[in-house]
Amino acid sequence: MEPKSLGNEKPKLRVGLIGTGFMGKTHSFGFAAAERVFDLPFELELHTVADRTEELAGAAARTLGFKNATGDWRRLVGDPDIDLVDITAPNAFHREMALAAIAAGKHVYCEKPLAPRAAEAAEMANAAVAAGVRTQVGFNYLCNPMMALARDLIVTGELGEIRSYRGIHAEDYMGDAESPFTFRLDKVGGGALADLGSHALATAEFLLGPIERVLGDEVTVINSRPDGKDGRTAVEVDDIGRAFLRFASGATGSIEASWVATGRKMQHNFEVYGSRGALAFSQERFNELQFYTTAEAGRVRGFRRIQAGPDHPPYGLFCVAPGHQLGFNDLKAIEVALFLEAIAGIRAEPFSFRSGQRIQELVEAIHTSATGGRWVSTA
Ligand code: NAD
């Protein structure tokens, strides 16, 4: 679908949002802030929001700033006025909603994990390419200016030859055995590795390039969860997933995903070790990057803290002063701006459905490896 042109003004791009929970709100912040921070190629209109019921959608439309509301996502997808469909509904709906939106000629922005199975993610990516629409997956952590700096330091050789990588995404929101069964525990496509490990894997490949093979290990710590009635539902997915990694570059590494890491709230961390330097990063302090270089004299050598500022674009568009810090919702604003530039043809899609498919393939390879107890190729 072509965004509507209004004479000399920027073309208008009308957004339809499906799902108004945690991510629905974050995406709404992203759209609102992106217009104020970036010189976007479009004038955005928050057109319609959909949720499970008219009531939920209506209440969200008022607070999130959308003009219309519907309790039926198919009406949103079928609305010829809408140019971009944004899916923040539970994982099991992603495929059906995205394929319907693509068939209607919309650009599609969808949260991770792209689909419960890699084959479904491939179907979605192929459909988007065939229809000529643009797509994006919500890998927001990659939008952090300090993540771009880390990759730049690696790619330009500041760290020398990269030898090893350690990545982790650990939280504790499923640590209580009495926390209820949710879509994140769905037998197909659920689990900590798909939910959180997808971010850890996306960061690993963003920084070090393609992963060539994996050796996985997974464990279910809490075997049943309250079903929301009086009983309990058996849990068949991983609470903790780990993998050894071999990168195509020759570097070795590992990732860990856990949602039962008591005390951890957002440990999306990585460490990179090269022959002449190293990096360490924590999402809990995501406006900082720890940098170590052997270029410094031995007696003053040590990890030093680089603080985000206007030298790390697009930080300066949010705030002229270094050290004042971006927030989680700002990463979504950057993600929105990148997607709109891709729709306008100014840049290639940074995190297309094809990249979502790739991450899902890695997740499945780790599942296969964990079951079979052997290395699995992901080249
Ligand atoms: P949530 O439960 O907070 O929100 C889901 C929303 O979808 C709710 O408003 C729910 O009512 C709605 N919904 C459910 N069924 C629907 C239907 N049939 N039609 C329309 N709406 C429906 O969940 P969440 O935490 O926002 O997660 C949503 C997605 O975002 C998941 O895919 C999750 O993996 C992803 N997510 C991504 C990040 C990230 O950092 N990128 C963080 C959290 C969640």
CA of 90 relative to ligand 1 center, distance in Å:
4
| % of the chain with per-residue pLDDT over 90 | 97
Omega within 30 of 0 (cis) for the link into 226:
no
**pTM score, two decimals?**
0.96
CA of 128 relative to ligand 1 center, distance in Å:
22
pLDDT at 9: 86
CA of 88 relative to ligand 1 center, distance in Å:
5
Rounded distance between C-alpha atoms, residue 13 and residue 337, angstroms: 13
Q: What is the pLDDT of residues 207-218, one digit of tens each?
A: 999 999 999 999
Average pLDDT over residues 17-34: 98
- Among protein residues, the one with the nearest Cα to ligand 1's atom 31 is 90
Average pLDDT over residues 118-140: 98
Question: Quick one: pLDDT band at residue 8, thresholds 50, 70, 90?
Answer: low
Classify residue 217 by burial, with Cβ atoms within 10 Å: 0-12, 13-18, 19+: middle
Rounded distance between C-alpha atoms, residue 374 and residue 340, angstroms: 42
pLDDT at 7: 59
Chain center to CA of 136: 9
Secondary structure letter of residue 4 according to DSSP: B
What residues line ligand 1, using a CB cutoff of 6 Å? 18-24, 50-52, 56, 73, 88-91, 93, 111-112, 138, 140, 195
- Among protein residues, the one with the nearest Cα to ligand 1's atom 18 is 52
Whether the pLDDT of residue 5 is over 90: the answer is no
- Among protein residues, the one with the nearest Cα to ligand 1's atom 38 is 23
Thinking of the domain 12-140, which architecture would CATH place it in?
3-Layer(aba) Sandwich (3.40)
DSSP string of 361-376?
HHHHHHHHHHHHTS-E
pLDDT at 97: 98
> Going by CATH, does the domain composed of 145-285+287-326+350-377 fall within 3.40.50.1980?
no
